[in-house]
Chains A and B, each alone.
Chain A
């Protein structure tokens, strides 16, 4: 995994972007955090935030021109939040002198002169003083903050101003009032000699003191760099109204100028670049997306006594209108992303760090392997961050580094190996044909779930399509691909590709959307169509079952997310079958059933949550066109049918069909192959072993399924125990307990003799190898 690419992906996730209010605030006050406290009635903590950003909280919370409110997203659902009033409420109901920031103790040896004790000058003075610099303020008038003292809209109580000015004493700022810089005694030139840096907060008037060579604009004011607040003199910085002229006055922009000029002065002292990393200084437009259409429009809470500001109750009510702004579009729709309590940017970082660990625990392996790779997150992401592709890449990397837990994917990979063994895999031209214009590839899971439908579909395609319809049974390799096993995946593709060549490069017809996706994405030479498009074109066989169908909701498999033509064909077919399906969502926004990406093996609980959540989207029975989706719904008790149940099914209520489970899936595949060899090609069947009769109660069967133990493995254990006598007799129950380790797993079976066969009472397994003498 390349670091740079990972950083680009991280940057695509916008959840950590600030909300619009904070980005729009010239000093980026944490409005969302403040509202969060207010909503809980915690005014003290709300004040803590206000005081952290505002050097004069009582004053600024009353006079701020609040550009934040112009960009508040609440405006899209009612009226914007009255952020400024809420801020004032923090001060009115939560002020605590002890919550005010304290200056750092270490004194620094630099001295700064501030000329002009307006908001910008005093902000610069406080910010620099807080950092331990010696700061002297020169003010021509007898008192500081003259403009604020004359404030008329409405006037500010003098006591409130004095409260805020306490900070000057706390920080140790020296104020030299009645000192006009430019007089004979003190000039800018003398300050330049006596101090290490100067900040000019001269107000909108021109520079009258020409004691130093300062570049001025046509109105006589200093030319100021809007990013660094530097002037043409390296020691002199300036800002505030001096930058804007007399026409406008924005208290918050004055504060902004003082603050960022102070930052420049500090940077100059540190020898750091004045201009680096300041892209998001001042107001800017956030990239954060917030879906506001889901919120009910609400009007603003207006203070009953406007001059008094919000009562505590009013402030809480107003803060409760804050959504608050977050993106989390992907997290809202995905159980996997929600499960780990964060969002993709953090997940990407954690998975990448996990990938880089040389020594120590790989704690995030399971996280990277829980993603279903369904791509819904990418579809809903405003920036289309490809999380699934990243997780897949992480898995490949884990495999390459030997860090993939074998327990995650052992079972599905063995199942894939079974499907590509002689027990199931085969390729034949149509009986009586020596060439194939078409090749039907039903996939391993439809064969596992509905072997009869595969046989019926093959027969129908053979009748309707000319030029010969061959059949290829096997697995497309998707499980290996999902599990990061590119070696196994490429090997499976290679076999399929070679057989397809041998059969004369026929057009492939898939019945599984995962196979379809795999071929389309990885074998571009193979002409592949979905059986649904083919059936839509050639028409369905006459369906004679006069079922009285309940309304059905359609679940599109996640692997068809981008296949609009396939989705459309399926709907056409359903219409022909007399079904007008209920749409659960736009087909492109379909969800995973919990099987995708092998999530159900790496993290069964999240997989169950995924399928259960989907099952709740509608009370109607579901119809789908992926056997795995259908069986997963059935496994969790959601009535669901496969579209082929409606075409070839013989049961009255196909939605009630049980999940066959893992054992029967393999048996069904083997049975299908034998049935086709016998009945279609009239060839000898694969030898069926003389298997002992097993009596497995539904309870034990369910346990075996949950513990990923196949009945064939149970048989192997018993056969081993009975031929070698390596078994333990439990004298209490009279049962035998025996183990067998055919591969990396030791299977234990508790059983007893029952007639000609065996009753199975319990099954479990472990991966550790026990005892050197134990059969292995």
Chain B
């Protein structure tokens, strides 16, 4: 994401029509919550969870929390 500024933004909020940018977003599961950096609309806070995150790290954390 470091060279994001150099390129045309890839993801645009469909509601606000402005590019998504990295920002702190809270994620919560089974009574636990964390803050993570994710692409989100700076205006309406619409968040993008990419496929690799949902099926990778996120799934692992879900499973670990479920076992608690």
Contacts and interface: CB of A to CB of B under 8 A. Distances in A.
Given A766-B62, A768-B58, A771-B25, A731 B11 contact: yes
Contacts of A363: 67
B47 A774 contact: yes
Interface stretch (A89-97, A122-130, A622-630, A719-727): A719-727
Contact of A766 (B14, B40, B46, B59): B59
Contacts of A772: 26, 45
B15 A769 contact: no
A405 B66 CA distance: 6
A706 to B, nearest CB: 11
A403 B43 CA distance: 39
Contacts of B45: 771-774
Nearest to A762: B51
A765 B54 contact: yes
Nearest to A359: B68
Contacts of A766: 49, 54-55, 58-59, 62
A571 interface: no
Interface stretch (A172-180, A532-540, A679-687, A732-740): A732-740
B46 A728 contact: yes
Contacts of B27: 768-771
A725 B62 contact: no
A769 B51 contact: no
Interface residues of B, number: 35
B25 A770 contact: yes
Contact of A770 (B9, B11, B41, B47): B47
A484 to B, nearest CB: 15
A235 to B, nearest CB: 57
A726 B15 CA distance: 6
Contact of A769 (B9, B28, B41, B68): B28
Contacts of B40: 771
A608 to B, nearest CB: 18
A729 B66 CA distance: 33
Contacts of B63: 405, 407
A729 B8 CA distance: 13
A516 interface: no
A731 B8 contact: yes
A213 interface: no
A764 B58 CA distance: 12
Interface residues of A, number: 36
Contacts of A773: 44-46
A361 interface: yes
A770 B29 CA distance: 9
Nearest to B61: A768
Contacts of B47: 770-771, 774
Given A737-B48, A767-B29, A771-B45, A407 B12 contact: no
Interface string A156-197: 000000000000000000000000000000000000000000
A107 interface: no
A407 B14 contact: no
A720 to B, nearest CB: 12
A730 B10 contact: yes
B57 to A, nearest CB: 10
Nearest to B26: A772
Interface string A751-776: 00000000000101111111111100
30 contacts: A405-B63, A406-B66, A407-B62, A407-B63, A407-B66, A721-B14, A724-B15, A726-B14, A728-B11, A728-B12, A728-B41, A728-B48, A729-B11, A729-B14, A731-B10, A732-B10, A764-B51, A766-B54, A766-B55, A766-B58, A766-B62, A768-B27, A768-B28, A768-B29, A770-B25, A771-B25, A771-B27, A771-B38, A774-B45, A774-B47
Interface of B: 8-15, 20, 25-29, 38, 40-41, 44-49, 51, 54-55, 58-59, 61-64, 66-68
Given A362-B67, A768-B28, A770-B27, 14 more contacts: A361-B67, A405-B67, A721-B14, A724-B15, A728-B13, A731-B11, A748-B54, A766-B58, A766-B62, A767-B62, A768-B58, A770-B25, A771-B27, A772-B45
